[in-house]
Structures are given as structure tokens and as C-alpha cells.
Amino acid sequence: MTDHETRDLEIQRLLSHFRWQHLPVHLQNTSKHFDVLARQLLGILPDSPDLAEALRDLRDAKDNAVRATVAMHEKADTKLQQGWSGLRP
């Protein structure tokens, strides 16, 4: 049994939202830092409603950062496609 499996069920559920290994590499680079921070919080804080709220807020921040990364890559892809289309006769 791992340490996080002994945590409160709500804390375990929230921790599951920080998985990043399944994401494309460019999103992993954004998401994994939030997983590290979530695990650091688990290492220093006891289970409590405040820890759960902190993890929910961190999850929301991670989701926003991942969406910003997606938007950044979509914008870069669009510019690249426009650049290629400008080369056509």
C-alpha cells in the first residue's frame, strides 16, 4: 500500500486529478509540475478540509495552465499552417 492510499478518500480522489503521464508530451511538461506541488503538500499537511480545498484550487490552476498550453500550441500550429499556405503559387 502506498502512502497516498492511506489518505482520506476525498484527498485520494483529488490526487487522481494530477496524473499527467497519459497526456501528450507538450502537456506533460505543464501538468507534471502541479503533481509535484500536490505531492509536496501531502508531505507537509495533514488531511483536512483546508488541504482538500487547496488541492481543488491547485487542480483548477492546473486545468487552466493545460488549457493555456493547448491554446498556445493551436495558435502556433495555425501560424505554421498559414506560413505554408503563403508559399503556394
For 86, the enclosing helix (H) or strand (E) is none
pLDDT band of residue 85 (cuts 50, 70, 90) is low
- DSSP per-residue codes, 11-67: HHHHHGGG--TTS-HHHHHHHHHHHHHHHHHHHHS-S-HHHHHHHHHHHHHHHHHHH
- Distance, in Å, from the CA atom of 78 to the CA atom of 55, rounded to the nearest integer, reads 34
Answer whether 0.85 is exceeded by the pTM: no
Q: What is the pLDDT of residues 24-83, one digit of tens each?
A: 999 999 999 999 999 999 999 999 999 999 999 999 999 999 999 999 988 876 765 666
- Distance, in Å, from the CA atom of 43 to the CA atom of 41, rounded to the nearest integer, reads 5
